[in-house]
């Protein structure tokens, strides 16, 4: 009887180890992969606006707050959100 219990314990331990490391379990691999795929689709969607990154970096170069928001969210090296709160050109009275 002890041999059966020991074999069952070894078998369960091996199965548990294999299922965690092989990527076959639903909870540990499939769900996060699906979530990551959904996030990447959302993150990499093409913008629906007519704005394009063209090297502008400063508020004085923007024509609207919407354009400034697009630039800080999608373009590199912008200098329009000094406090990094997501609101560009806060001191620009034009907007």
For 6-50, how does the pLDDT look when each residue is reduced to its tens digit (9 = 90+)?
Answer: 888 888 888 777 777 765 444 444 445 555 555 554 555 555 668
Q: pTM of whole model > 0.75?
A: no
- Using DSSP's 3-state secondary structure scheme, residue 9 falls into helix
Cβ density class 37-64: b for 16+ within 10 Å, e for less = eeeeeeeeeeeeeebeeeebeebeebee
Residue entry with tokens 């069952």: 8
């Amino acid at each position: 009887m002890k041999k059966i219990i020991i074999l069952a314990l070894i078998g369960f331990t091996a199965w548990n180890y294999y299922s965690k490391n092989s990527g076959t379990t639903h909870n540990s691999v499939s769900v996060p992969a699906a979530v990551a795929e959904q996030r990447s689709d959302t993150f990499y969607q093409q913008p629906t606006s007519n704005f394009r990154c063209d090297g502008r970096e400063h508020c004085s170069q923007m024509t609207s707050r919407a354009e400034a928001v697009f630039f800080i969210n999608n373009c590199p090296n912008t200098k329009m959100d000094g406090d990094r709160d997501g609101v560009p050109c806060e001191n620009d009275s034009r907007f």
